[in-house]
Amino acid sequence: MSDEPQHEKEDASREAEQAPIEPSRSRSSALRPLGAALVAALGVGGIAASLAHCTRARPVDARSAELIAGAAHYEEYCALCHGAEGEGYAADNANALANQDFLVSVSDEFLRVNIAEGHPGTPMAAYHESRGGPLDDVKLANLVAFIRGWQEEPTASLTEPGEGDIERGAEVYSRRCASCHGDEGQGVSAVSLNNPQFLATASDAQIRYAISEGRRGTPMPAFAGDLSPRTLDDLTALIRSWERDTEEREIVAPEMGPDLVIHPDGEAPEFSELREGRYVPSTEVAAALEQGRRLVILDARPPSDYVMFHIPGAVPAPYYEIEELAARIPKDGTWVIAYCACPHAASGRVMDYLRDEGFPNTAVLDEGVLVWRDEGFPIVEGEEPGEVADAE
């Protein structure tokens, strides 16, 4: 597939002919639910042979090895929020990456940069190694190829919007869009529309296409026919007006230091009964910190988010590294609280792993760290765990 969705019809059909894998075929077969376990069990060669019938235009081995690797990365890093099959909404507002209306209108470059840089301030973290994440360029390319493999319909020809009127757009937006996307596009039940990273990579034509065609099978309606072409232009202009500079962030992945326990000489916290046996409210964790109680707090998000801000004393414990990190966490009855932004997906995975390993006192921060911050509980920035006294 190309890097750019085509803006001309003829290009689009030429593109479809050249598509390296035939989309409908790539979707069938064992490829979609393919996970790390299967890869490990069969080995790349075995899978390549079993896939030989379903790939055409490219050498089978190279192409299928990329997709197998991409599938494994997807399962490890993405499925917990975007769903095992890219159906979306496994956690929070993580959109449907396998949605056809999405895939036919976004470029590989859009996917690549949004995965690499994330959407800072939302549960979508940055996954590139230059941002402290687990993906180098090759892994990222394989992951994008795997996601692109879900595309069954031909790449759309996108219409360049005419010049829109921001004020008229704002008027329609507040009536028709704000309930799902937030007054300022900050996202509520749906993805944000004002994220700097999104706006730096989404073209006007792509944004207009999303409004006009909607996203089948999701709450996002198609507004073509309902709103005039001019109104679609106005809404596009409004969303574009939210664009801000993106921050250049070179991030070194912080490491879990030797001193995991906060207040090692303190008494154990007294939490009331965990909701559903799993969740502890922010108020009780904040009180335990304030009272100098002994506990471990694990930040289950990728490092790019940890560095932006975290709970004082929390240590970095990305959900995809918990197997290696668990050995360093005390198993002596010390309370271990995990949190993330989503608010339960990554932290839940960390806690479930620890419980399986026999850690006696574990819980997930119920509201997640975005709400924790918004409610005014203490946070610190940077690579060091920090202390409540350093908090803002």
Interacting residues with ligand HEC (CB under 6 A): 77-78, 80-82, 88, 91-97, 99, 102, 111, 114-115, 119, 122-124, 127, 143, 176-177, 179-181, 187, 190-193, 195, 198, 207, 210-211, 215, 218-220, 223, 235, 342, 345-346
Q: State the minimum distance, in angstroms, from the CB of residue 24 to ligand HEC.
A: 21
Q: Which is nearer to ligand HEC, 99 or 304 (CB)?
A: 99
Report the residue number, 104 or 346, with the smaller CB distance to ligand HEC.
Answer: 346
Residue among 190 and 288 whose Cβ is closer to ligand HEC:
190
From the CB of 361, what's the least distance to ligand HEC, in Å? 24
Q: How far is the CB of 70 from ligand HEC (least distance, A)?
A: 9
Q: How far is the CB of 331 from ligand HEC (least distance, A)?
A: 26
Q: How many residues are given for the chain?
A: 392
The smaller minimum CB distance to ligand HEC, of residues 69 and 190, is found at: 190
Which residue's CB is nearer to ligand HEC, number 247 or number 384?
Answer: 247
The smaller minimum CB distance to ligand HEC, of residues 119 and 263, is found at 119
> Closest distance between ligand HEC and the C-beta of residue 391, in Å?
24
